[in-house]
Structure 1
Amino acid sequence: MEFHKNLLEYISQSLMTADETIAVAECVTSGCLQLALSQMPNAPLVYQGGMTAYTLPMKVKLLNVDKEEAEVCDCVSENIVETMALNVAKLYEADWSIATTGYCTPIRNSSYKIFAFFSFSYKGKIIYTNTLELHPKTQALNAQLYYTEFILGCFKTEINKNLEAKAKLGLKKNKDARIKVS
Structure 2
Amino acid sequence: MPTIPDLVEHLAAELKARGQMMATAESCTGGLIAAACTEISGSSDWFERGFVTYSNAAKSELLGVPAALIHEHGAVSEPVVRTMAVGAVANAHAHWSVAVTGVAGPTGGSAEKPVGTVWFGWATPEGVFTEHQRFDGDRAAVRRATVAHALAGLLARLRSGA
Q: Decide: shared fold, TM above 0.5.
A: yes
Is contact 1:103-1:110 (8 Å) kept?
no
Between the aligned partners of 1:34 and 1:103, the Cα distance in structure 2 is 19
The answer on whether the counterparts of 1:86 and 1:125 sit within 8 Å (CA) in structure 2 is no
TM-superposed deviation, 1:72:
2.9
Could you tell me which amino acid in structure 1 is paired with residue 95 of structure 2?
Answer: D
Partner of 2:82: 82
User: Do the aligned partners of 2:78 and 2:130 also contact (CA within 8 Å) in 1?
Assistant: yes
How far did residue 152 of structure 1 move? 1.0
Query: Helix, strand or coil: the match of 2:91?
Result: helix
Q: 1:130: which partner in 2?
A: 131
The amino acid across from 1:71 in the alignment is: H
Matches within 5 A, 1:92-131: 92-105=92-105, 107=107, 110-111=110-111, 112-123=114-125, 125-126=127-128, 128-131=129-132
Give the counterpart letter for 2:48 in structure 1: Q
- Counterpart CA distance in 2 for 1:39 and 1:108 is 30
Counterparts in 2 of 1:124 and 1:160: CA distance versus 1, 3 Å: closer
CA distance in 1, matches of 2:106, 2:90: 32
Residue 151 of structure 1 deviates from its aligned partner by 1.6
Tell me the SS of whatever aligns to 1:92.
coil
TM-score (norm 1): 0.80
Kindly provide the CA deviation profile for residues 60-85 of structure 1, in whole angstroms up to 9, marking residues without a partner as x.
11111111220233311111101000
Q: 2 CA distance for matches of 1:87 and 1:124? A: 15
CA contact (8 A) 1:99 1:118 kept: yes
In terms of mean alpha carbon deviation, does 98-107 or 140-149 score higher? 98-107
Q: TM-score, normalised by structure 2?
A: 0.89
- Percentage of identical aligned residues: 22
Query: Where does 1:1-182 land on structure 2 (aligned, <5 Å)?
Result: 4-105=4-105, 107=107, 110-111=110-111, 112-123=114-125, 125-126=127-128, 128-135=129-136, 138-162=137-161
Output the amino acid matched with 1:72: E
Greater share of residues in helix: 1
Which has the higher Rg, Structure 1 or Structure 2? Answer: 1
RMSD of equivalent CA atoms: 1.8
- Partner-residue secondary structure (3-state), 2:100: strand
SS of 1:110 mapped into structure 2: coil
Q: Return 5+ residue gaps in structure 1 as ranges.
A: 166-182
How many residue pairs get aligned? The number is: 158
Judge which range, 65-74 or 6-15, deviates more: 65-74
